[in-house]
Every structure is written in C-alpha cells, then in structure tokens.
Amino acid sequence: MLWIRAVQRLDIELVPVLEAKARPQFLRGDFEAAALLAMKEVELRVRTMAGLPNSLTGTALMQQAFRPGKGDQDAGPLVDTTADGGEAVGTMELFKGAIGLFKNPPSHRRVDYTDPTEAAEVLLLADLLMRLLNKIEES
C-alpha cells in the first residue's frame, strides 16, 4: 500500500532530466539511487549555472553559488540581489540543506530508503529545486 501511495505522489511531470534519470530508478524500487541521482542533477545544474569549478562540491558549492552579499558586491552568481536578505539566505540554506541531507550521505555510504514515500518526496524536492533554478535562469 505504501508503494502505491508513493507512486501516486509522484504522479506529476518532473523536470525532464529527473523524469529520464530518477523516475526509472524509483519505479524499479531503487530508492537510494533515485534520490542520489535527483540531487546529483541539482548539484550539476547549480555548478554549471554558477560557472564554478568541479572541485567545489556539495554544501560548499551551494554556499558559494547562493551566498548573499551586500547588493551586487561579493554575492554568489545565483543569488537574487534584489531579494530581501532573509530570503536570499533562505534560498542558500534550502539548497545547502537539501544537498547536505539527501545527496551527500548516499554519495559516501549506503543509505537504505525503506519508505517509498520519503524517497518520492526527495524526488519532489529535487524537482522543486530544479524549477527554482529555471526561474533564476529566466531572470
């Protein structure tokens, strides 16, 4: 029953890269791989959009890409310099927290997702982050 509910929760169109890479893993029941692939795609997209080096990874990458500055000064390449300071920090923390909690652990050790709903929600979070990146790219 949990499996059916989790699949129903994912009954939306994900951004194309997640649709192609993460959903198939999820449908096979490989929840760890699905979550890792989804968050890895977020990390890759942030790095590309920010023009930051491959040596910068994980939470450090998110902090560098989204760091608030004073106006345009010293701000990360993806920060909205017109946003309220708290919102800019919140965006940085959202990306940093998502990568730190859902991408880093399965990159370094085995993480058993026994709850398909939790795995589905990680995919949905990655989808939301990718959609936020779309908005940044469009602005």
Summarize pLDDT for 71-83 with one digit per residue, the tens.
Answer: 557 899 999 888 8
**Residues ≥6 apart with Cβ < 8 Å to 2:** 115, 116, 117
**Residue 13: how many other CB atoms lie within 10 Å:** 9
pTM of the predicted protein model: 0.92
CB 88 within 8 A of CB 68: yes
Kindly give the parts of the chain with pLDDT less than 50.
none
